[in-house]
């Protein structure tokens, strides 16, 4: 097991240690639609996943009312708990709200995804 694997496991363990702060949500990876010749129509290629994440508000000092606006959220996801790479313009349904992924980053160890979420 390499050092990056240790960090990935540690990130997952740390998020699980939060207990009731970690919540389940639905993640929709947006893909280019494809033309289905049988149906004679364009069909969605989006993929849906169940995720576990910690959701938090941005701090007042982070809110610039330009890129980060009041009401935006962060989603923290342990990288080795998902089998996909999050992307801008994907969606997360959390707390009965359909959030748009505005930006995506991962720490240098590749252990923890941080997603900036905004309302559409």
Q: Specify the CATH number for the domain of residue 75.
A: 2.40.10.270
Give the count of domains, the chain: 1
Cβ–Cβ < 8 Å for 22, 52: yes
Full residue range of the structural domain in which residue 110 is found: 3-118
Please list the residues that pair with 75 across neighbouring strands. 55, 115
Query: Average pLDDT, stretch 112-116?
Result: 96
This prediction's pTM: 0.78
pLDDT digits (tens, 9 = 90+) for 63-83: 999 999 999 999 999 998 998
Q: Above pLDDT 70, what percent of the chain?
A: 83
The 10 Å Cβ neighbour count of residue 83 is 6
pLDDT band at 2 (very low <50, low <70, confident <90, very high): low
């Amino acid at each position: 097991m390499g050092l990056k694997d240790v960090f990935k496991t540690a990130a997952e363990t740390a998020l699980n240690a939060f207990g009731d702060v970690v919540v389940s949500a639905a993640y929709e990876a947006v893909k280019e639609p494809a033309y289905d010749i049988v149906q004679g129509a364009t069909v969605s290629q989006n993929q849906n996943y169940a995720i576990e994440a910690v959701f938090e508000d941005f701090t007042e000092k982070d809110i610039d009312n330009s890129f980060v606006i009041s009401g935006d959220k962060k989603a923290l996801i342990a990288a080795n708990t998902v089998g996909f790479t999050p992307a801008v313009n994907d969606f997360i349904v959390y707390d009965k709200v359909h959030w748009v992924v505005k930006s995506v980053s991962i720490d240098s160890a590749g252990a923890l995804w941080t997603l900036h979420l905004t309302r559409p």
